[in-house]
Chains A and B, each alone.
Chain A
């Protein structure tokens, strides 16, 4: 019964979206009240899809196996919270979540766009409506979560065991908030093109939206990385998997966008470039969706795919990307854009930032698509993985990281006193080099990459904090802290991330050994004693649990319980790692396979400072959110016209 309401509401939402799209081109010729219709339909979209989504959740909780989607993604024995999260764990449900979030952003855009010119606002919301319509059509025709089973099964299959986990409950919604938030930026850019203009105030209006999407993307990616780390059982945090790349590309472009928007707002420069970045950011998130959903990729994410879906998304992608680029090349020459500046200027360094970020994105795109092209051409298949990105991506990103610390130094003095700048640069380099070398005594495995990572960390954080203090003294108002704290925190986050990533990648210890109960394995000053092995029954699986006593310098610090689980629905054994987290190191044990009798293969990892990776990401998220808040406060001081 509930599911019928859901179905009906989806159709209503489809109708509502059509109305939103067609109002401007069709109704404007008949009646003058079409703008009120656009404003109300753009708000109505959200409650319609929300209730449909709630209907799906209720159907999951009620074990309504008459629905195909539920019977293939849930099971009566599934714990309650996983029944709820299963709503968006499969393809159909996650597309409904996508539509829900899209309607949410449309709702927000409709509410907060009062300051925009009415004609602009109407066109802008219509473009958002078009995106809503496209995704709802996709949902209804290729992936309807309310589709019925022909015969009702007694019980459902199960939720993929990998996805029965907290990380997965939160990872997709956060990521989608980011992906779909970019649709606001995209629609805005397209509207600018339609209006043949991109005003300073508009740049100021759109920046918080870009920042919000960026923060959500960062959080979503970080959660995915954290989840992969503890759930997949191999202790990695980034694999350059095509699907990870698909989320990383829009992130990089959005990072470029939030920087170029500053120049746009302050100097009225790079207008066309900013518009192009906005289009690229959303196009790349659509491309990501296409790659994941069409099943042309081999990846740990490739679940529930179907050629018809691929064809639909490809068509939609072509219309959206092709259409917007067409408008771009037709209309962008009409937008007056002034880009001439000195080499030693802020603009110039923002440009270098943008060039490097776009190149980095291109590199990932090339690495992701190249094997596919070779495959299409019928040539031998190749793999593009970690070694490629280490060799190509890192050399492009390293100057960017150095730049992040250099800009504050460059703008310390307003009169650009060259001698002062050079002195300061030299002195700070010296201090930072000394500190970097000094910190090397804490690592027993010295190498150049670690040194570089530590150097970049100190370099960025030293300069960015110095910059904040300096700004405070120059302007002498407390407000400076509030305005700049977001930016400062985000850049510090980057520094912390780089520190964690380089240390763990260059100093981790990974041991793969065979052991039986009673044996002790030693790594550094840690000893792991394998003391027990027991079998137990979980709600929907059978588990084998090992017990390890962990000693640090001969004192017991913790007990770890790595597990092996066999789910009733799935023959593949799942590993649950035993992890002792810590800011300075993680100890990580997984149970491999049974060799014979009671001898097990076991992996033990020592991961120094791995937590800094996610801590850094969280700092970036917080920085992004604080920037939005301070932006809003500043906007209240100087309202838009």
Chain B
């Protein structure tokens, strides 16, 4: 048993060390790549700015690049975009009361349907 504990423990350590080591160098590029896939090209038919070659998309990509290079974080970039272009530009809907059902709906549904079925099936 001891062997197994060591084994799992070292595995977890390895996992953390690796992720810390790679996190730093790739951070800038990763944030840029992530942001451009989460921002909608407002003039296209459901494409993000990473995919689109429309002039607006190119402008927005450059803007994101600029902000990332200035060291701005994800929240700042999202706020910047939604303030100028409305929430429609973000593919990730905000956690606001308006979107409450959207975010908790699936889990609520899961809870209700599980309760219904398991109560019916095991009551005997």
Contact = CB atoms under 8 A, between A and B. Distances in A.
Q: Range of interface residues on chain A? A: 35 or more
B78 to A, nearest CB: 10
16 contacts: A234-B51, A302-B45, A340-B121, A359-B106, A359-B109, A370-B93, A370-B99, A374-B98, A382-B98, A383-B91, A383-B93, A387-B92, A430-B7, A433-B8, A433-B11, A447-B19
Contacts of A386: 37-38, 91
A446 B22 CA distance: 8
B15 A339 contact: no
Contacts of B103: 392
Contact of A362 (B98, B106, B117): B106
Interface in A295-320: 298-300, 302
B47 A300 contact: yes
Interface of A: 232-234, 236, 239, 241-242, 298-300, 302, 339-341, 343, 348, 351, 355-356, 358-359, 362-363, 366-367, 370, 374, 379-388, 391-393, 396, 430, 433-434, 437, 440, 445-448, 451, 510, 512, 573, 575, 592-593
Interface string B83-124: 000111111111000110111011101100110011011111
Contacts of B2: none
A362 B88 contact: no
Contact of B102 (A366, A387, A396): A366
A411 to B, nearest CB: 19
Contacts of B58: 593
Interface in B58-91: 58, 61, 86-91
A339 B99 CA distance: 36
B33 A383 contact: no
Nearest to B92: A387
Contact of A300 (B8, B11, B45): B45
A370 B121 contact: no
Nearest to B34: A387
A393 B109 CA distance: 13
A19 to B, nearest CB: 42
Contacts of A239: 46
Given A355-B110, A362-B109, A448-B15, A383 B90 contact: yes
Contacts of A451: 15
A538 to B, nearest CB: 20
- Which 3 interchain pairs have the tightest Cβ spacing? A385-B91, A387-B92, A234-B51
A299 B47 CA distance: 8
A31 to B, nearest CB: 46
A592 B50 CA distance: 11
A343 B113 CA distance: 16
A448 B92 CA distance: 22
Query: Which one of A300, A370, A440 has the highest number of Cβ atoms from chain B below 10 Å of its Cβ?
Result: A370
B46 A241 contact: yes
Given A343-B122, A445-B26, A384 B110 contact: no
Nearest to A591: B53
Contacts of B86: 380-381
A506 B99 CA distance: 28
B120 to A, nearest CB: 6
A299 B88 contact: no
Interface string B23-61: 000100000010001101000011110110100001001
A573 B86 CA distance: 29
Interface of B: 4, 7-8, 11, 14-15, 18-19, 22, 26, 33, 37-38, 40, 45-48, 50-51, 53, 58, 61, 86-94, 98-99, 101-103, 105-107, 109-110, 113-114, 117-118, 120-124
Contacts of A448: 15, 19
A339 B121 contact: yes
B15 to A, nearest CB: 7
A625 to B, nearest CB: 31
Contacts of A592: 53
A343 B91 CA distance: 40
Contacts of A388: 91-93, 102
Given A343-B122, A351-B117, A380-B88, A385 B102 contact: no
Given A340-B121, A437-B14, A448-B19, A510 B33 contact: yes
A340 B123 contact: yes
Contacts of B45: 298-300, 302
Contacts of A341: 121-122
Contacts of A362: 105-106, 109
Contacts of A446: 15, 18-19, 22
B120 A300 contact: no
A7 to B, nearest CB: 33
A370 B101 contact: yes
Given A300-B47, A385-B48, A445-B22, A367 B102 contact: yes
Contacts of A234: 47, 50-51
B4 A396 contact: no
A573 B53 CA distance: 10
Nearest to B55: A593
Contacts of B19: 446-448
B122 to A, nearest CB: 7
Query: Which one of A367, A382, A433, A592 has the highest number of Cβ atoms from chain B below 10 Å of its Cβ?
Result: A382
Contacts of B87: 380-383
B73 to A, nearest CB: 16
Contacts of B90: 382-383
B99 A382 contact: yes
Given A239-B46, A383-B89, A430-B4, 11 more contacts: A300-B45, A340-B121, A366-B106, A370-B93, A380-B98, A383-B87, A386-B91, A387-B92, A388-B102, A393-B106, A446-B15
B3 to A, nearest CB: 10
Nearest to A446: B18
Contacts of B110: 355-356, 359, 396
Contact of B38 (A298, A348, A370, A387): A387
A403 to B, nearest CB: 14
A622 to B, nearest CB: 32
Nearest to B111: A359
B113 A355 contact: yes
Contacts of B123: 340
Given A300-B46, A343-B122, A359-B110, A382 B88 contact: yes
Contacts of A367: 102
Contacts of A233: 51
A236 B47 CA distance: 11
A492 B43 CA distance: 41
Given A384-B102, A447-B19, A358 B89 contact: no
A383 B88 contact: yes
Query: Which one of B4, B58, B90, B106 has the highest number of Cβ atoms from chain A below 10 Å of its Cβ?
Result: B106
A114 B91 CA distance: 52
